[in-house]
Chain A
Amino acid sequence: GNSVTQMEGPVTLSEEAFLTINCTYTATGYPSLFWYVQYPGEGLQLLLKATKADDKGSNKGFEATYRKETTSFHLEKGSVQVSDSAVYFCALSMYSSASKIIFGSGTRLSIRP
C-alpha cells in the first residue's frame, strides 16, 4: 500500500542553521506530495506541494523537490527562525483517490534563539 516515512524528531537547531527533514514515500502510481505544518495549538496548514517528478515546491523559504528516482521529498530551509518551530508532516495523495491523503508521523522542530 501507499505510505510515507519521515525522519523521527524531535529536531533541535539554533537560529539561522540549515534544516533538512527527510521524507520518502511508497506509492503505486504517481502521487502528489505535500508538506504540512502544524504550529502549537493549531490545525495543519499546507506549506508546499509538488504534483509531478522534478517539481520543486517552495514557500516561506522552505523548499522540497519531488524525486521519483529516490522516491523522496525532503524539506529544506537555508536559515531557520524561532518562528519555524512546529511539527512538520510529509504527505501524499493519489489523483484518483477520493479520500486519501496519507500522512507521515510528523517531525517536531524546535529552534533555539
Chain B
Amino acid sequence: NAGVTQTPKFRVLKTGQSMTLLCAQDMNHEYMYWYRQDPGMGLRLIHYSVGEGTTAKGEVPDGYNVSRLKKQNFLLGLESAAPSQTSVYFCASRPLKDRVLLDTQYFGPGTRLTVL
C-alpha cells in the first residue's frame, strides 16, 4: 500500500495563478483532510470530507476550495493564489472501522507551495 500520497511535492506560483493539489489514499478511508503548516503555528485545518461527494469547512477555509468526487481522492484548489498561502500543505485520512471513526489520522508527505 502506498498510504497517502500528494502531488506535486513542490510548486511555485505567481500571485493570481490557480492550481490544484491532489491527495490520494489507497486505504479505503472515509474521512479526508487538508491542513496547512506554518512556522510556529502547528497544523491548521482548511477543509475536510466525511465521504465521497461531501466537503466541509475547517478552521481556515478562505481562499481554498475542495472536491471529493471519488472516495480515494481529495483535491484542494487555489483559484487565485496569494503570498499568504505560501505554506506546506498536508493531506490526511482517517478510517471508519465497524462504523466507528478511529481517532488516528494518516498523513501524506506534504506539498511545499510558494506564492510570489
Residues of A at the B interface (CB closer than 8 Å) are: 4, 32, 34, 36, 41-46, 49, 51, 89, 93, 95, 98-101, 103-106
Residue B108 CB within 8 A of the other chain: yes
Partner of B50, one of A41, A93, A98: A98
- Ordered nearest first, which 10 A-B pairs have the shortest CB separation? A43-B107, A103-B42, A105-B42, A44-B107, A103-B43, A93-B103, A99-B48, A43-B109, A32-B103, A43-B108
The answer to whether B58 touches A104, judged by C-beta atoms less than 8 angstroms apart, is no
Counting contact residues on chain B (CB < 8 A from A), the size range is 20 to 34
Interface residues of B, dominant DSSP: strand
Known contacts A43-B4, A89-B42, A104-B42; is-contact A99 B58 (Cβ 8 Å)? yes
In angstroms, how far is the closest chain B Cβ from the Cβ of A95?
7
Residues of A within 8 A of B42 (CB): 4, 89, 103-106
Residues of A within 8 A of B40 (CB): 105-106
Residues of B within 8 A of A95 (CB): 103
Measured in the bound complex, the distance between the Cα atoms of B56 and A49 in whole Å is 26
Q: Which of A36, A42, A99 has the most CB of B within 10 A?
A: A99
A-B contact pairs, 11 of them (CB 8 A): A4-B42, A34-B103, A42-B109, A43-B90, A44-B90, A95-B103, A99-B48, A103-B43, A104-B42, A105-B41, A106-B40
The answer to whether A45 touches B103, judged by C-beta atoms less than 8 angstroms apart, is no
Residues of B at the A interface (CB closer than 8 Å) are: 4, 31, 33, 40-43, 45, 48, 50, 56, 58, 90, 92, 101, 103-105, 107-110
Additional 19 contacts, C-beta under 8 A, given A49-B103, A89-B42, A99-B33 = A32-B103, A34-B103, A34-B104, A36-B107, A43-B4, A43-B109, A44-B43, A44-B105, A46-B104, A51-B103, A89-B43, A93-B103, A99-B48, A99-B50, A99-B58, A101-B105, A103-B42, A105-B40, A105-B42
